[in-house]
Amino acid sequence: MKMKSNIAVSDSGFIFNPDTGESFTVNPIGGLIINQLKEGRETQEISRLIRDKYNVQFATFEKDFDDFIGLLRNYSLIENG
Amino acid sequence: MADHKRKLTIAVSGLNAIDSPGPGVAVIRALREAESFDVRIIGLAYESLEPGIFMHDLVDRTYQIPYPSAGIDAVFERIDYIHSREKLDVIIPNFDAELYPFIRLEKRLKEMNIHMCLPTMEQFEERHKVNLNEFGTRYNLKVPKSTVVHELSSVYSLPSEFKYPVVVKGKYYDASICYNMEQIKTQFNKITAKWGLPIIIQEFVHGSEFNVTGLGDGKGNTISAIPMRKQYITEKGKAWGGISISDKRMLELTHSFISQTKWKGGFELELMKDKNGEFYLLEINPRMPAWIYLSVGVGQNIPEALVRLALGEDVKPFAEYRVGKMFVRFAWDMIVDMEEFQTISTMGEL
């Protein structure tokens, strides 16, 4: 799973899809996940990174993480799958 | 190096920068920023309250011209008079309805050394919304189902493949979404009273609105193509804000349209992307759109290239454009002296 290479993400969490003209904003955790995906990190790696950084239970994080990835997929921001 | 740009006198119509704006003012702004020439702009107006008439930093002088319904001879006579005063090099008509007389007059005006860059009459007619079904079939472009209605009684026998809502469209302008027969009848009467017959009833495609503006050289080459997503849409369906995008399928669709039709001149493709990501071609406007100034913003000055094509110059296709450039339209009140309004109203010139 990888973010589309042409998706632009600013430091402030503004996302622009140049193919569709759609734009979105995400909070800092969302921005962190997206940047990790852009760098080609696997979901397990990202999961570990976030759980190390924030005090969150595995089950809670996995559910929110899946929801977030589902949103990215729904908005065609992810390259495959 | 000294600036030795040639100066062209260009007449431009569509000065009605109103809530459903004509493209004239945007075209003029682009021409004023042309790199290959300087301009003297002659405005061509139909009504004495078209805002562009009073924009003296953009328009040097304005003349009222007769509506196309007055006939080709009346239009020619007025252009002949304006030419005798202003020595026009180029005319850029910006309304669908006036293209018919100007295409017919193209040869006569060229003999007077007035140049235009227009589609042929065949191109103008075949892309007409009345003929959109055939156009889609001929050029393998996906279009919504539509039917042409010449009398009110025909709407009662609409083909069964039409499901509500449908879009009711005027021959030249106006479109409205209708959810039942009563609404269709109301719109039929409203639109025919204003624009005449026929009207078009079109399948409504749910989705997001996209547009492409571009320029064809008449030989099948795309000189320019800029895809845009509407971000802010007015009640009349006009883009009040938009952003340039890089969708490859929209560009391919545009190249396909130009190469197959050998389109000459500016145009706008109105597209709808449905939930499956399929693009439907809703309309082909045979002239530049009101948001044409975005073309300058992204690095492809379409009005400038169109003028050079009109003058018979060799214009190379633009190689790239900036993605993510936005336009945001705004309303602006000008203060106008009564004398100016009086002059354009009574003398037909300002």
- Provide the residue range defining the domain that includes B166: 149-201
The answer to whether residue B139 is domain-embedded is no
Residue A8's pLDDT band, with cuts at 50, 70 and 90, is: confident
Residue B281 near residue B270, CB atoms below 8 Å? yes
Residue B102 sits in the same domain as residue B159: no
**Residue B323 touches partner A, C-beta closer than 8 Å:** yes
The answer to whether residue B137 is domain-embedded is no
Residue B184 sits in the same domain as residue B294: no
Residue B320 sits in the same domain as residue B337: no
What pLDDT shows up at residue B225?
A: 97
- Hey, what amino acid is at B224? S
Question: Would the CB atoms of A21 and B229 count as touching at under 8 Å?
Answer: yes
| Cα distance between residue B102 and residue B36, in whole Å | 25
What counts of helices (H) and strands (E) characterise chain A?
A: 3, 3
Among the candidates B167, B182, B201, a domain finishes at B201
What pLDDT shows up at residue A57?
A: 86
CB within 8 Å of chain A, chain B residues 146-205: none
Cβ-based contacts of A21 with chain B (< 8 Å): 210, 228-229, 231, 242-245
**Residue B241 touches partner A, C-beta closer than 8 Å:** no
Residue A56's pLDDT band, with cuts at 50, 70 and 90, is: confident
What pLDDT shows up at residue B6?
A: 95
What pLDDT shows up at residue A58?
A: 87
Measured from the Cβ of residue B241, the count of other Cβ atoms closer than 10 Å reads: 16
Give the pLDDT confidence of B128-138 residue by residue, as tens digits: 888 888 888 88
Q: Which of A6-20, B7-21, B60-74, B291-305 has the lowest mean pLDDT?
A: A6-20
Question: Would the CB atoms of A19 and B229 count as touching at under 8 Å?
Answer: no
Q: Which of A40-49, B51-60, B239-248 has the lowest mean pLDDT?
A: A40-49
CATH of the domain at B33: 3.40.50.20
The answer to whether residue B138 is domain-embedded is no
What pLDDT shows up at residue B2?
A: 54
Cβ-based contacts of A14 with chain B (< 8 Å): none
**Residue B228 touches partner A, C-beta closer than 8 Å:** yes
User: Which residue pairs from B62-66 have beta carbons closer than 8 angstroms and sit at least 24 positions apart in sequence?
Assistant: B62/B15, B62/B344, B62/B349, B62/B350, B63/B348, B63/B349, B64/B344, B64/B348, B64/B349, B65/B13
Q: Rounded to a whole number, what is the distance in Å from the CA of A75 to chain B's nearest CA?
A: 11
| Cα distance between residue B183 and residue A14, in whole Å | 42
More confident residue, B106 or B134: B106
Cβ-based contacts of B244 with chain A (< 8 Å): 21
Residue B268 sits in the same domain as residue B303: yes
Among the candidates B140, B169, B201, a domain finishes at B201
In chain B, the number of structural domains is: 3
For chain B, give the percent of residues with pLDDT over 90. 69
| Cα distance between residue A34 and residue B139, in whole Å | 41
Main-chain phi, psi angles of B215, to 5 degrees: -145, 125
What pLDDT shows up at residue B3?
A: 64
CA–chain centroid gap for B119, Å, is 12
Give the pLDDT confidence of B163-173 residue by residue, as tens digits: 889 999 988 77
- Name the residue of chain B whose CA is nearest to A74's CA: B275
Distance set, CA B34 to CA A12, B78, B94, B223 (Å): 36, 28, 18, 16
| Cα distance between residue B235 and residue B247, in whole Å | 26
Cβ-based contacts of B243 with chain A (< 8 Å): 21
Residue A19 near residue B245, CB atoms below 8 Å? yes
- Hey, what amino acid is at B281? L
Residue B271's pLDDT band, with cuts at 50, 70 and 90, is: very high
Among the candidates B201, B234, B261, a domain finishes at B201
Cβ-based contacts of B210 with chain A (< 8 Å): 21
The answer to whether residue B249 is domain-embedded is yes
Measured from the Cβ of residue B93, the count of other Cβ atoms closer than 10 Å reads: 27
The answer to whether residue B142 is domain-embedded is no
Strand order in the sheet with B166-169: B146-149, B199-203, B166-169, B175-178
Residue for token digits 């062209």? Answer: B8
Residue B320's pLDDT band, with cuts at 50, 70 and 90, is: very high
**Residue B274 touches partner A, C-beta closer than 8 Å:** no
Helix/strand/coil percent split, chain A, to 5 = 50, 10, 40
Give the pLDDT confidence of B42-101 residue by residue, as tens digits: 999 999 999 999 999 999 999 999 999 899 999 999 999 999 999 999 999 999 989 999
**Residue B328 touches partner A, C-beta closer than 8 Å:** no
Cβ-based contacts of B328 with chain A (< 8 Å): none
For residues A18-30, b (16+ Cβ closer than 10 Å) or e, as one string? bbbbbebebeebb
Residue B28 sits in the same domain as residue B108: yes
Cβ-nearest to A18 among B208, B242, B246: B246
Give the pLDDT confidence of B332-341 residue by residue, as tens digits: 899 999 999 9
Q: Rounded to a whole number, what is the distance in Å from the CA of A6 to chain B's nearest CA?
A: 10
Q: Cite the beta strand spans of chain B per DSSP E.
A: 6-13, 37-45, 61-64, 90-92, 146-149, 166-169, 175-178, 199-203, 208-217, 222-233, 239-244, 264-273, 279-285, 326-328
The answer to whether residue B131 is domain-embedded is no
